[in-house]
């Protein structure tokens, strides 16, 4: 006797044997029992999910010697002939090889009017019906709409969108779902026991995952592994033959990501490379694992969304809660970049190691995603130390910080204030994330130019979050620090004069101040500038923060510059200086520019 493949040998013979499609088998059983069988059905779904098998079972239920019955005995001659494809009243047609209208006219239209030969129903099963030509569909329309009595059409396809709507409207449509991993594992366990194949449960799970919801693919893989191993299948055999990755390795790497263990990640990659594993395939599998973690973190109850076993689902929930949704989102972006890079890189191992390092150390990047992750970690660290947080803002935001006097009576200098600020304890930061930058101008010191440039993308993100349309005003802005080292300069390019005017409204300035406060803690003084380098005062939009001390009318401030919030006050007998204006004159003089000032000059007192 010729060998018969396992998927044919163990094909379901009744509605009870069909796995994972209870919503369809229950409907068909009730239709047969109540004599309410439709004249045309459209079975759609992925390959290997039971479309043709269910159509044959329906034909058995209608033509069984004890029928029509929802439970055919599968042992009568009619049921046996239908199962073996030789019953004269059940016609199985392959539309892929009979696409022309002549085939439809000859094999269907010309014979459908004849009464059943041996059974009580004529059943036409057309497989891959979407392959029929347009003329064939048009010729079939009238026959499907009004077939002779006791005639049923079952159209099967994996591409329902290629079937004309006129056919859809004349059929009852049933969508076959991908079969779950648990159902496939149960069926494979039954077959392996009947065939005396020894296979472990982890190996069965990996075979089921590789099948992607297709029972036929899973059974074919089991048969192939049985021939490969001599009917004793281990997990390593499945990995070698299919190139699949053990889920334990995916969970192990996810734990290393959770703990930001760079050394452990490098050792993991080294161990993976020594085994000869395909690193590109591993990255694909790990991306799928991170996707499951992301869905679990976003949805919570992901039992119907994530295709995995119940045992693995509990571990997914634990890891998803430990990593967090923001980190998972960034991790998916990095893995997407890594998958594209590994297609052409000469050293996939190095690319994987660099990606894992970027995942563990977001402070080494200047992307918005990395900044968002650092801010999230920083917020978690601050919230765990309330006493350390309540002292620092009170000093930083005090409006009289520039005029405070120590007990000796002399005005406090900026250096003393910086020393006081440094003495304030700070909150511990989780995961080695850098502290949030606080502008030194709020404590009397200089602003760090590099810190301002690094933090500007986060400021733009805050503006966009508050009002996305206003963020466009600052999209091409370059940030710098003024010569006084206390004022942030927003430099608009020469062709952005209109954008600078729009950004100079009170509402937009207040929005910018709030964004600076969200990033720096205390908003530093800022001003606008058209073009690069020193410019004339008329080109500069000055702004004085609300927290700045008031300036006397007899003592006008420097033109075009914002008065720092911590500038010390001067008494009436002292000389009123114009250091900012003098500095601007000096710079313009070096450039050969002519400085014009029509304002009355300050008078000094002896």
- Domain finish residue from 143, 175, 207: 175
CB 480 within 8 A of CB 449: yes
Residue 515 in any domain: the answer is yes
Query: Are residues 236 and 280 part of one domain?
Result: no
CB 564 within 8 A of CB 441: yes
Residue 151 in any domain: the answer is yes
**Per-residue pLDDT reduced to its tens digit, 289-327:** 889 888 888 887 766 677 776 677 888 888 888 888 888
- Poorest-pLDDT segment among 27-36, 77-86, 296-305, 394-403: 394-403
Note the pLDDT of residue 506.
87
Residue 555 in any domain: the answer is no
Q: Report whether pLDDT(595) > 80.
A: no
Take residue 551 and report the two structure tokens written for it.
Answer: 């300036």
Averaged pLDDT, 71-82: 89
Q: Report whether pLDDT(533) > 70.
A: no
Residue 280 in any domain: the answer is yes
Query: Are residues 328 and 310 part of one domain?
Result: yes
pTM of the model: 0.52
Query: Are residues 19 and 144 part of one domain?
Result: yes
Rounded alpha-carbon distances, angstroms, from residue 164 to 46, 167, 175 = 19, 5, 16
Place of tokens 């079969």: 179
Q: Report whether pLDDT(28) > 90.
A: yes
Query: Are residues 222 and 154 part of one domain?
Result: no
Q: What residues make up the domain containing 523?
A: 449-546+579-590
List the one residue out of 488, 565, 558 whose CA is nearest residue 529.
488
Confidence of residue 580 (pLDDT cuts 50, 70, 90): very low
Place of tokens 């190139």: 243
Query: Are residues 24 and 149 part of one domain?
Result: yes
Pairwise pLDDT comparison (319 vs 425), residue with the higher score: 319
Query: Are residues 586 and 455 part of one domain?
Result: yes
Distance, in Å, from the CA atom of 304 to the CA atom of 180, rounded to the nearest integer, reads 10
Distance, in Å, from the CA atom of 356 to the CA atom of 338, rounded to the nearest integer, reads 10
Collapsed DSSP state (helix, strand, coil) of residue 131: helix
Averaged pLDDT, 156-164: 92
Distance, in Å, from the CA atom of 231 to the CA atom of 194, rounded to the nearest integer, reads 12
Q: Report whether pLDDT(594) > 50.
A: no
Q: Report whether pLDDT(577) > 60.
A: no
Note the pLDDT of residue 53.
93
- Report percent pLDDT > 70 for the chain: 72
Distance, in Å, from the CA atom of 306 to the CA atom of 184, rounded to the nearest integer, reads 16
* Positive/negative CA dihedral, 72, 73, 77, 83: positive
Note the pLDDT of residue 151.
93
Confidence of residue 537 (pLDDT cuts 50, 70, 90): very low
Q: Report whether pLDDT(438) > 70.
A: no
Note the pLDDT of residue 172.
93
Mean pLDDT of the chain: 75
Place of tokens 């594992």: 185
Query: Are residues 10 and 158 part of one domain?
Result: yes
| Count of domains observed in the chain | 5
Query: Are residues 136 and 47 part of one domain?
Result: yes
**Per-residue pLDDT reduced to its tens digit, 463-483:** 888 887 788 888 788 888 888
The CATH number for 186's domain is 1.10.8.60
Q: Report whether pLDDT(512) > 80.
A: yes
CB 528 within 8 A of CB 503: yes
Confidence of residue 161 (pLDDT cuts 50, 70, 90): very high
Residue 563 in any domain: the answer is no
Residue 600 in any domain: the answer is no
Residue 573 in any domain: the answer is no
Query: Are residues 429 and 353 part of one domain?
Result: no
Continuous H helices in 275-347 = 279-299, 310-323, 325-341
Please classify residue 89 by burial: count the beta carbons closer than 10 Å to its beta carbon, then call 0-12 exposed, 13-18 middle and 19+ buried: buried
**Per-residue pLDDT reduced to its tens digit, 264-277:** 889 999 988 887 77
The CATH number for 469's domain is 3.30.300
Q: Report whether pLDDT(485) > 70.
A: yes
Query: Are residues 475 and 432 part of one domain?
Result: no
Query: Are residues 252 and 238 part of one domain?
Result: no
Continuous H helices in 342-446 = 348-360, 368-383, 386-396, 414-423
Query: Are residues 305 and 187 part of one domain?
Result: no
Please state, as a whole number, how many other Cβ atoms lie within 10 Å of the Cβ of residue 339. 16
**Per-residue pLDDT reduced to its tens digit, 356-388:** 888 887 655 555 656 666 665 555 553 333 333
- Report percent pLDDT > 90 for the chain: 19
Residue 455 in any domain: the answer is yes
Note the pLDDT of residue 570.
39
**Per-residue pLDDT reduced to its tens digit, 189-199:** 999 999 888 88
Q: Which helix (H) or strand (E) holds 96?
A: none
Distance, in Å, from the CA atom of 98 to the CA atom of 103, rounded to the nearest integer, reads 6
């Amino acid at each position: 006797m010729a060998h018969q493949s396992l998927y044919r040998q163990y094909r379901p013979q009744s509605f009870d044997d069909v796995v994972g499609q209870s919503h369809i088998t229950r409907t068909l059983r009730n239709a047969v029992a109540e004599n309410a069988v439709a004249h045309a059905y459209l079975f759609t779904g992925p390959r290997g999910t039971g479309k043709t098998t269910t159509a044959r079972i329906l034909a058995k239920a209608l033509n069984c010697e004890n029928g029509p019955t929802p439970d055919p005995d599968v042992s009568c001659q009619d049921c046996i002939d239908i199962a073996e494809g030789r019953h004269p009243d059940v016609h199985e047609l392959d539309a892929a090889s009979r696409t022309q209208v002549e085939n439809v006219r000859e094999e269907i239209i010309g014979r459908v009017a004849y009464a059943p030969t041996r059974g009580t129903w004529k059943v036409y099963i057309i497989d891959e019906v979407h392959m029929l030509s347009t003329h064939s569909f048009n010729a079939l329309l009238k026959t499907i709409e009004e077939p002779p009595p006791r005639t049923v059409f079952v159209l099967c396809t994996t591409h329902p969108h290629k079937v004309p709507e006129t056919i859809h409207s004349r059929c009852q449509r049933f969508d076959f779902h991908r079969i779950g991993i648990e159902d496939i594992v149960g069926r494979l366990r039954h077959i392996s026991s009947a065939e005396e194949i020894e296979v472990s449960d982890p190996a069965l799970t990996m075979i089921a995952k590789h099948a992607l919801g297709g029972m036929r693919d899973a059974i074919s893989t089991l048969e192939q592994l049985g021939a490969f191993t001599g009917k004793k299948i281990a997990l390593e055999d499945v990995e070698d033959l299919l190139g699949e990755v053990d889920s334990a390795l995916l969970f192990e790497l996810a734990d290393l990501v959770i703990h930001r263990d760079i050394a452990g990640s490098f050792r993991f990659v080294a161990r993976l490379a020594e085994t000869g594993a395909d690193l590109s395939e591993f990255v694909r599998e790990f991306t799928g694992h991170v996707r499951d973690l992301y869905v679990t973190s976003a949805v919570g109850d992901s039992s119907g969304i994530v295709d995995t076993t119940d045992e693995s689902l509990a571990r997914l929930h634990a890891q998803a809660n430990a990593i967090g949704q923001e980190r998972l989102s960034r991790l998916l972006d990095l893995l997407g970049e890594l998958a594209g890079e590994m297609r052409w890189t000469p050293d996939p191992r190095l690319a994987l190691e660099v990606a894992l390092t970027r995942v563990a150390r977001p402070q080494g990047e200047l992307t918005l995603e990395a900044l968002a992750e650092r801010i999230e970690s920083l917020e978690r660290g601050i919230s765990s130390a309330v006493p350390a947080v309540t002292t620092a803002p009170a000093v930083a935001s005090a409006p009289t910080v520039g005029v405070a006097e120590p007990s000796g009576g002399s005005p406090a200098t900026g250096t003393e204030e910086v020393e006081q600020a440094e003495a304030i304890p700070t909150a511990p930061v989780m995961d080695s994330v850098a502290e949030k930058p606080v502008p030194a101008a709020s404590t009397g010191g200089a602003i760090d130019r590099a810190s301002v440039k690094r933090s500007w993308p986060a400021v733009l993100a805050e503006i966009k979050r508050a009002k996305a349309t206003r963020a466009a005003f600052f999209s091409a802005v370059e940030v710098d620090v003024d010569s006084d080292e206390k004022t942030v300069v927003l430099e608009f390019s020469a062709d952005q004069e209109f954008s600078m005017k729009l950004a100079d409204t009170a509402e937009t300035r207040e929005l910018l101040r709030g964004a600076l406060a969200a990033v720096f803690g205390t908003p530093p003084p800022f001003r606008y500038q058209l073009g690069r380098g020193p410019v004339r005062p008329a080109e500069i939009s000055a702004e004085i923060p609300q927290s700045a001390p008031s300036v006397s009318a007899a003592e006008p401030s420097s033109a075009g510059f914002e008065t720092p919030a911590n500038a010390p006050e001067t008494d009436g007998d002292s000389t009123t200086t114009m250091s900012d204006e003098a500095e601007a004159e000096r710079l313009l003089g070096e450039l050969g520019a002519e400085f014009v000032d029509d304002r009355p000059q300050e008078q000094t007192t002896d």
